[in-house]
Chain A
Amino acid sequence: MTEEIVWRIAGGSGDGIDSTSQNFAKALMRSGLDVFTHRHYPSRIRGGHTYVEVRAGPDDVASRGDGYNFLLALGDSFARNPQEDAYYGNEEAKPLAENLDELREGGVIVYDEGLIDPEEIPDFEERVEENDWNVYPLDLRGMAREKGREVMRNTAGVGATAALLDYDLEHVEDLMEDAMSGEVLEANLEILEAAYQQVKEMEFSHDLRMPTGDHDEEQVLLSGSNAIAFGALDEGCRFISGYPMTPWTEVFTLMSKYLPEMGGVSEQVEDEIAAAALALGASHAGVKAMSGSSGGGFALMSEPLGLAEMTETPVVLIEAMRAGPSTGMPTKPEQSDLEHVLYTSQGDSSRVVFAPGNVMEAYEQTREAFRIAYEYQLPAIVLYDQKLSGELRNVDESFFDREPNPDLGETLTEEELAEAAHHASGKFQRFQHDPDNDKGVSPRSIPGQKGGKFLATGNEHTPEGHISEDPDNRVAQLERRLGKLDTIRDDLDEQEGSHQSYHGPEDADYGILTFGSQQGTVEEAVDRLNEAGHSVKSLGVSGVMPLAEAEITEFLESVDEALVVEMTASAQFRGLVQKEIGRFGPKMNSLLKYNGNPFEPHEIVEGFETIIEGSEPAPTTRFVPAAGD
């Protein structure tokens, strides 16, 4: 029996690759399989080579895996540009030609012979033979045209896939009935059926079959961006302001879709400085608010971020990393904004940063970011990347069955304000250090409340908000603001399990340390390394500020040597651990990747074997070269 299918659908951007793969993934999920998708796209709106992989198996799938075993190559319809001056060159065959490197031995290829001529690929035949690939040319475009429109060749491809993998067509039909209606549905169903039947009558040379699985409960298919939006909504966020920038735009558009329906407000504004400033304004006026961006846009938010720290205004900012510096590679993931997010803005800073490792953590830690921001009155940042933003994964529906939390944190009622400490000027002592409150949090009032007026200012200020450069006041206020981070560290330590992810045998000799979106890939590599006789465990860190010191210390103490895996060129995460904890410098080696693609498990396996086991003494950094492109 086939253990897993990794189905890759390739075509031109704008050819419906995304929606087709999403629907197919959903059909697989509904039929009981665990699924995970990986999206690859160029920085171009239409045309240009793109693909999505759907990995499906009977058990938990937490990464894209290594390579793939089924290619559906649709042909790039946008390569045929009618305006000759804007001709892109003949790229129709790219969806076939560009995808061969990662196709596993014995894999299946279905290509659209209506659009692709394999003779344009000089070594195609040889490679097919060498790799024992099973090739099925089908006139997908012809089938689509016959019963509907050319764009529906996706559906023909899915019908062919089902027939070739012995997958029950009903799952796909059900999904189409949910997603479409009328003539479009009719045409798609006919095309699906026709392709299925036509392929069923052919002779097969391959032995791949769709695996089967079973879920105990209803599943939902969500992306990292979805999870962030849902987390924010459940934590009572009803205001978002933003400016589009890939890949942050996904969270922004999702929130703009949900918020008006849920009685909230979404604002697309003139730039990212304004976006962050609006979020502060809304929060100051008593609403749970967020903003966000990607690298360059987040750079613009640096001043409002500092203002939030100084005025102790709660706010959540989302940072979706892509490869930088500057505009970098807009559609490619990297984790190299870590230091930017930790240290941007002037002064000694009091902010919290979470770096979720998967879809579930993205939900959980967005909620945590809001909880912490409002409970402790400071900015909290959710740092993720282009990889996590678009990958889909099935999650138990019950995971989301939780109480909403619209709590604004320590705000006083008017009755309480009447009793609260006021300055001789009549102002409420908003920024007072209350010795009984060991959190360092001073309760706030909301504009419009009686007895609560105060001045929030980005200048250093006295407890009631008067601008002050008095040295004693400065020390007291600054230490109170910074001191909150220690309390937050303790608070997070108490929230068991949801912040760091351990994997592998506890007594392993070696450790792999990572943060953010590389978690699932690292865990898969750890399994493989242990199967191959190594002794390895991993720790995926999501609490990067305050750094999860206790867990990291315990982890690093328990291993002989560790490999730090991250998508940066300058080992930023390892640098953070070294800066914050110090003494593990000699134990840590780096495995870095910064070519625009996330790690694949085999790269970590190979990296581990060469760095940890192969060389003496271990080099500190290694670059894993690109696989494929």
Chain B
Amino acid sequence: MGSFLLKRLAQIIPVLLIISFIIFALVYIAGNPVALMLPDDASQEDIEQLTASLGLDQPFIVQYGHYLLNLVQGDFGESFRYNTSALPLVLERLPATLELAIAAMIIAVAVAIPLGIWSATQQNSPLDLLASGGAVIGKAMPNFWLGIMLILLFSVSLGWFPVSGRGTFAHLILPAITLATGIAAEITRLLRSNMIEILNQDYIRTAKSKGIRNGFVVYKHAFRNSLIPLITITALQTSTVVGGTLITETVFSWPGLGQLLIQAVNTRDMAIVQACVFVIAILVILMNLLADILYRLLDPRIKYD
């Protein structure tokens, strides 16, 4: 396990290098932010002066070299909008996003597991049809729209929850549900099809014919064997969660990474954009690593050598 972990961690380095290159290249292509930083009536001289002082007149490879060198020292550059270094600003927002993402994952898993098991064991029953249909709709609904609808219904019409912002537990409910819906739908569908497949296998039939209680067969054999794909999809969905927070945070004015990133893109605050994307990438990589470790723990047959 120790050497496996080391190997997996070593793999992260080239991945991060590639990510840093892609982020930098995209920002480079996106163009010169100097025009936005200066007032309307800036002269050509002002533009050239600022371009040079930011090092933007250097060739691509030199700029990227500087960028990497700073990156290694944890320096993602200065946010020109806030006039302060980018990384602390991004890390300051991380807890809010994690809070929302974790709440959403808890809701999604808590809804999806019973729903997936029920629909698999009662295949084609009205409940199954409702759950499967609901999953399709849940998957199809854009976060943005769903968030606004939830606000209209539960905040404006019913007055149960605050509309937006972060603070109390009540503030967390609606954005977490918004974010959880698509993920719950995805997990439900996957768990259902997996369980159905397993329930039709010989060893289940054998177990049933030996007179073992149905519930025991379902939970002890079928569900357990569905766990590994469940973990895969849950880990994969985590990237969806992080992506989903971008939009959900804007709708609910949730002061997390997503809102920061969208504001930064709008104002072309590239240091913030780069730092945000980098932190999100690391989150996704860590989730995948966690999934791999859980695999190993759950199924010792899986080997990575």
Indicate whether A and B interact: no
Residues of B at under 8 Å CB distance from A? none
Residues of A at under 8 Å CB distance from B? none
